[in-house]
Amino acid sequence: MTLHTNSQLKRLSNIFDNAGQVLFGWLVITPVIASAPYSSVLPVSLFGSILTILLWWVSLRLERISL
C-alpha cells in the first residue's frame, strides 16, 4: 500500500527526471563547454554524473511503482 496515488508517483518521477537533466547540463556539460582547467572539470563532472544517474534511477523506480 502506497501513500501516494499513481498519478502523484508519475508526477514525482517526472520531477526527478527533469532534475536529472538539469544537473546533467549544469554539472557535466557546462564545465566541458566552458573550457575550464582539466583538474577542476573532472571532479565536478564525476560528481554531476553520479547525481544525475541517482536522480534518473529514482525516477525509474517511481515510474515502476506507479504501474
Domains of the chain by residue range: 6-66
- Per-residue pLDDT band at 4 (split at 50, 70, 90): confident
1 pLDDT more than 60: no
d(CA 36, CA 27): 12
CB 17 within 8 A of CB 56: yes
pTM (predicted TM-score): 0.77
Lowest mean pLDDT among 12-16, 29-33, 52-56: 29-33
Query: What is the amino acid identity at position 42?
Result: L
Question: Greater confidence, 35 or 49?
Answer: 49
Cα radius of gyration (the chain)? 15
Query: What is the reported pLDDT for 45?
Result: 83
CB 29 within 8 A of CB 21: no
CB 48 within 8 A of CB 23: yes
